[in-house]
């Protein structure tokens, strides 16, 4: 296949967020040793992308840079050592030292690619790595710690809804914390039995009482700030709060007495580190397990479809209402 010498890409010129994103023509990247060139069929945005564009993520990249951590596409060229992926449709992560998925093409490491089963659509493919893997990994950690009941924040987001459905499958009780009444309705509609609204008077008392009754010993926190301390206080003696997101943008505040006298732990989770610790065969096994569950348990809500030219509208729409679902950017589509 002959490839063009340039491509369209959304490029970030500085770390000031969406305002610094422009659609531009850039040279076609070339795959090196163990790399592949992926023609992006669909890509999406997560809170991590929004944090990254503001310089608030775990790392930055030299500017200008193409953001976008996950996507789905066709491997159209492969470097030495990555030939087995040539021609395959894959879900893919961006490499930490290269441009990302918000472009017509992306070069990434072969190990960042997961071959897709035929029944998986492109939009499912682009939402199957970051959130489903995180939901599974978090719940596995809680179960390995012996938890029979968990509590989670940001529960109306996609990770939260996946965690609740996985809890249903695994007969684990899950206390869901949201911040708006519409989110309570949404989760109750999903069949979630325990949904608490953190904006309501008396929330903390209700949280403590519910966690006591259900014997909750593990918390997943994506919010930070005061919430981390409230979770720490609400869970059982010896329990764990796992901080995996900082949506509030605020440092966690907590009562050290809970750590000292309550024998409780605060820890963190980062999917990149989790991947780095897995054998490739384990990651592929989880990928296959995830693909079987994309129609139900690990489904992502989608709120709209965009091209590279209209992507900025889509990203602003997502930033304004994350609960409504992911936006899908289709770089190969040029109209509509
Ligand atoms: N550590 C990791 O490796 C890892 C991996 C995957 C995801 N994550 C984290 O998981 C979290 C959820 O991701 P997602 O893709 O599921 O998100 P999402 O689908 O975009 O939804 C985000 C949810 O969080 C809510 N929210 C936003 N800001 C909030 C705040 N300050 N306080 C309370 N709720 C807030 C949103 O509600 P509104 O609609 O009201 O804004 C929405 O329901 C994020 O923090 C993300 O960074 C971490």
Delineate the domains of the chain, giving CATH numbers in brackets.
Answer: 6-127+300-329 (3.90.180.10), 130-272 (3.40.50.720)
Provide the whole-model pTM. Answer: 0.98
Q: In this structure, which long-range contacts are made by residues 280-286, counting pairs with CB atoms below 8 Å and at least 24 apart in sequence?
A: 280/111, 283/111, 283/114, 284/114, 286/133, 286/136
Residue 219, φ and ψ in degrees, nearest 5: -125, 140
- For the CA of 271, the closest atom of ligand 1 is 3
pLDDT in tens, 130-167: 999 999 999 999 999 999 999 999 999 999 999 999 99
Per-residue pLDDT tens digits for 211-257? 999 999 999 999 999 999 999 999 999 999 999 999 999 999 999 99
pLDDT score at 335: 64
Separation of 259 CA from ligand 1 center, angstroms? 26
Determine which residue's CA is closest to atom 35 belonging to ligand 1: 154
Contacts of 203 (CB under 8 A, 6+ apart): 196, 197
The conformation of residue 201, written as its DSSP 8-state character, comes to T
- Residue 144: CB atoms within 10 A of its CB come to 9
- Overall average pLDDT of the 53-80 stretch: 97
Q: SS3 of 15, please?
A: coil
Q: In whole angstroms, what is the distance from residue 237 CA to residue 310 CA? A: 50
pLDDT confidence bin for 336, thresholds 50/70/90: low
Task: Name the residue with the closest Cα to ligand 1, atom 26.
Answer: 154
Which of 162, 184, 322, 328 for mutating ligand 1's site (highest number of atoms within 8 Å of CB)? Answer: 322
Pocket test for ligand 1, best of 50, 151, 157, 241 (most atoms within 8 A of CB): 157
Burial bucket for residue 57 (CB in 10 Å: 0-12, 13-18, 19+) = middle
Instruction: Give me the percent of the chain exceeding a pLDDT of 70.
Output: 99
66-87 average pLDDT score: 98
Do residues 23 and 8 make contact, with C-beta atoms less than 8 angstroms apart?
A: yes
Pocket test for ligand 1, best of 47, 248, 298 (most atoms within 8 A of CB): 47
Using an 8 Å Cβ cutoff, are 329 and 44 in contact?
Answer: yes
Pocket-forming residues, ligand 1, beta carbon under 6 Å? 46-48, 130-131, 134, 154, 156-160, 179-180, 222-223, 244-245, 247-248, 269-271, 321-323
Contact 252, 267 (CB under 8 A): no
């Amino acid at each position: 296949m002959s490839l063009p010498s340039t491509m369209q890409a959304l490029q970030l010129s500085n770390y000031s967020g969406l305002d610094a994103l422009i659609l531009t023509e850039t040279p076609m990247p070339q795959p090196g040793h163990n790399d592949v060139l992926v023609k992006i069929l669909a890509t999406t945005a997560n809170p991590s992308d929004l944090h990254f564009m503001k310089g608030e993520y775990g790392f930055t990249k030299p500017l200008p840079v193409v953001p976008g951590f996950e996507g789905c596409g066709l491997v159209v060229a492969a470097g030495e050592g990555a030939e087995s992926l040539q021609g395959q449709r894959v879900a893919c992560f961006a490499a930490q030292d290269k441009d990302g998925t918000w472009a017509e093409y992306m070069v990434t490491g072969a190990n960042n690619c997961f071959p897709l089963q035929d029944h998986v659509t492109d939009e499912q493919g682009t939402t199957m790595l970051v959130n489903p893997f995180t939901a599974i990994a978090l719940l596995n950690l809680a179960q390995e710690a012996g938890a029979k009941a968990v509590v989670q924040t940001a529960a109306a987001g996609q990770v939260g809804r996946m965690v609740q459905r996985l809890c249903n499958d695994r007969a684990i009780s899950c206390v869901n914390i949201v911040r708006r009444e519409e989110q309570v309705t949404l989760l109750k509609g999903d069949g979630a039995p325990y949904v608490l609204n953190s904006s309501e008077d008396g929330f903390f008392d209700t949280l403590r009482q519910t966690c006591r009754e259900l014997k909750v010993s593990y918390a997943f926190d994506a919010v930070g700030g005061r919430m981390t301390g409230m979770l720490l206080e609400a869970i059982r003696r010896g329990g764990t709060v796992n901080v995996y997101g900082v949506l509030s943008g605020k440092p966690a505040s907590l009562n050290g007495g809970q750590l000292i006298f309550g024998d409780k732990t605060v820890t963190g989770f980062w999917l990149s580190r989790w991947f780095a610790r897995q054998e490739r065969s384990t990651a592929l096994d989880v990928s296959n397990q995830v693909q079987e569950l994309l129609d139900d348990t690990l489904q992502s809500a989608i709120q709209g479809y965009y091209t590279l030219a209209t992507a900025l509208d889509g990203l602003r729409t997502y930033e304004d209402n994350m609960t409504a679902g992911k936006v899908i950017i289709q770089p190969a589509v040029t109209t509509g």
